Amino acid sequence: MCTFKIHKKSFFDRMSKKGTLLRLQLDQSFLDSSFQTINTKIERHEEMILELQKLLKEVPGRDDLLTFRDRILDEVTLKTDRLNEKIDDLEKRMDKKMKDLEDSFEARILDTANMLNLQIRNKFEEVNKSPTNNNINSKFAEMEEKIGTLENNLFFASKKLQTTRDCVKKVASSIGLFNNNKNIKLDISLFDNLKGSVSYVKDDMKSIHDEIEELKEKIANQAEIQSQNKKAAHNDLIEVIQEVQQDHTSSNMPGKTSEFDITSIRPYPSMVAHWRDPPELPIIHQFLTIGEVVDYIYRIVPKLQAHMTAMQGKIVENATEIQNRVERPLLEKIFEKFQSVIGDMSKRMNELKEGYDQTASRGEINTMVEDIFRAMTKESQTSVGRLKCMACGRDIPQVVGAMSEEEASEMLGPATSSHVFHVKSGAVSNASNNPSVGVRYADTEGFNSEIVESPLSYRPAKVSRIPSQNSTKPK
């Protein structure tokens, strides 16, 4: 138990010399428990930070996302360039054909004019060589008739050329309407005028490809139904053919006449169609004879076969292109997954930030600990250092009426490191040959002499700062 004696006079003298009114002494067990709690919290936060870092390593970074996006953009750009090359090739061939058409018309007109001049010249020569006027008149009449015929032919040829030019202009204007461009001229600027419209057509083709992909599934579902219908129709056709054969055999029997004669009906030649061409099937009407039915079948089968072959080739081509493309749902799922992962990361970072704002940093903890130890190890306000209580044995930070070390140094000067004293019994002095004189040192550092008596007071060692994160933790 500590005993404090307070004298009124010394108390007020102490207060007048800028002293503190109260001084706090902390228990060692309380400090140990406080630091143990702080260390536990710090270790828990370090574990949380390590766990968060592990999670962040598994999440793709920004560079991975940018690389994936660039790869997709490169694929789209490559396929777009290929399609543009095809369109440019088509436009070049179209321009070449139009130019060839114009050149052929101009060449034919020039050949016709040269031929006409040559014929007129020949006719004039024949007229000059003819002996009679009747022959001349007949030749002139014949020549006028031929000239009129040639003029008519030339007029119809120029009209046909103008019609062809108008048709080409209408086609170009129709293509230009896709881009709201009605004034299309048949000159060098035709390519630039049709470029926007062709791009619009390209986008429509892309949408058509998507629709074809949807139709493939429907066609696959309807394939079985159509196969069943074809089998039923085939069976019906076989029955009709058998009936016709029976009628034909019965008509060939002696004494009977044939009701159906289809020997004069011949099948039509095969056709070639483009998948863009609309199907032009013969108009169906009520049939009166079996010959009309057979002729209708002969006419419709080549057209159906041509269009079905063209559509089948286009479907195979589109299926090949579609298989090489990246599916849109897959990309959407990947981006949705990235968004969810980034959202979870942001949420966890916010939670960690909220917990970090409510937690003391290492610097703040070190500052607080330094303040506590500075208060504990502050130099005692006594001239003889720390003393112990005679009753309980604890250190007493102050003695009533004692001076601080600064005040004692100002009044008495610095403490001596040694002093000489008289020795009563046989102690040997290291500083003199006189056996009655001895030397007492306050410290053994730098001296090899024996300390005759321990110092009257000592100062406890100062507690060092809390070890940093890189230092070894005490066990």
Is 225 within a domain? yes
**Mean pLDDT (whole number) for 92-107:** 84
Phi-psi sector, 393: left (phi>0), alpha (psi -120 to 50), beta? left
Q: Which residues pair with 387 in a beta bridge?
A: 396
Contact 365, 38 (CB under 8 A): yes
**Structure-model confidence comparison of residues 358 and 310, the more confident one:** 310
Q: How confident is the model at residue 5 (pLDDT cuts 50, 70, 90)?
A: very low
Q: What is the band of 329 on the pLDDT scale with cuts at 50, 70, 90?
A: confident
What tens digit of pLDDT does each residue of 17-34 get? 555 555 556 567 877 888
Phi/psi at 67 (nearest 5 deg)? Answer: -65, -45
pLDDT digits (tens, 9 = 90+) for 33-76: 888 888 888 988 888 888 888 887 777 777 877 888 888 888 88
Band of pLDDT at residue 436, cut at 50, 70 and 90:
low
Which residues face 437 on adjacent strands?
A: 422
Residue 392 and residue 384 in contact, taking contact as beta carbons nearer than 8 Å? no
Phi, psi for residue 434 in degrees, rounded to 5 = -75, 120
Is 331 found in the same domain as 320? no
Tell me if 216 sits within 8 A of 315, measured CB to CB: yes
* 186 within a domain of the structure (yes/no): yes
| Mean pLDDT of all residues in 416-443 | 54
DSSP 194-250: HHHHHHHHHHHHHHHHHHHHHHHHHHHHHHHHHHHHHHHHHHHHHHHHHHHHHHHHH
pLDDT in tens, 438-448: 665 555 554 44
Residues spanned by the domain of 146:
138-235
Q: How many CB atoms lie within 10 A of CB 334?
A: 14
In a domain, 13, yes or no: no
Answer with the residue of higher pLDDT: 14 or 302. 302
Above 70 in pLDDT, residue 311? yes
pLDDT of 223 reads 67
Task: Read off the tokens for 98.
Answer: 């139009």
Domain count, the chain: 4
Task: Specify whether the CB–CB gap between 260 and 251 falls below 8 A.
Answer: yes
Distance CA 74, CA 68 (A): 10
Q: Could you say which of 307, 325, 343 is where a domain stops?
A: 325
Residue that is last in its domain, among 61, 95, 129: 129
Cβ distance 414 to 383 under 8 Å?
A: no
Which residue has better confidence, 142 or 190? 142
- Looking at the structure, tell me whether residues 123 and 86 fall in a common domain: yes
- Token pair for residue 116? 């006409």
- CA–CA dist 200, 17 (Å, integer): 96
Residue 135 has pLDDT above 60, yes or no: yes
Whether 286 and 347 share a structural domain: no
At a CB cut-off of 8 Å and minimum separation 6, what does 258 contact? 248, 251, 252
pLDDT computed for residue 438 by the predictor = 64
pLDDT value, residue 259: 52
Q: With the CA atoms of 109, 115, 118 and 124 taken in that order, what torsion angle do they form, in degrees rounded to the nearest 10?
A: -100
Domain boundary among 129, 154, 188: 129
Closest CA to 342 of 47, 99, 62: 62
The residue-averaged pLDDT of 303-322 equals 84
Residue 54, pLDDT score: 82
**What are 461-474's pLDDT values in tens digits?**
444 444 444 444 44
pLDDT of residue 156: 80
The answer to whether position 90 is within a domain reads yes
Closest CA to 315 of 453, 214, 413: 214
| Cα–Cα separations (whole angstroms), residue 352 to 62, 230, 339 | 21, 69, 20
Q: Average pLDDT over the chain, rounded to whole? A: 70
Q: Sorting pLDDT into bands at 50, 70 and 90, what band is 226?
A: low
Dump pLDDT digits (tens) for 149-205. 877 777 887 777 777 777 777 776 766 666 666 666 666 666 666 666 667 667 776
Q: Is 352 part of a structural domain of the chain?
A: yes
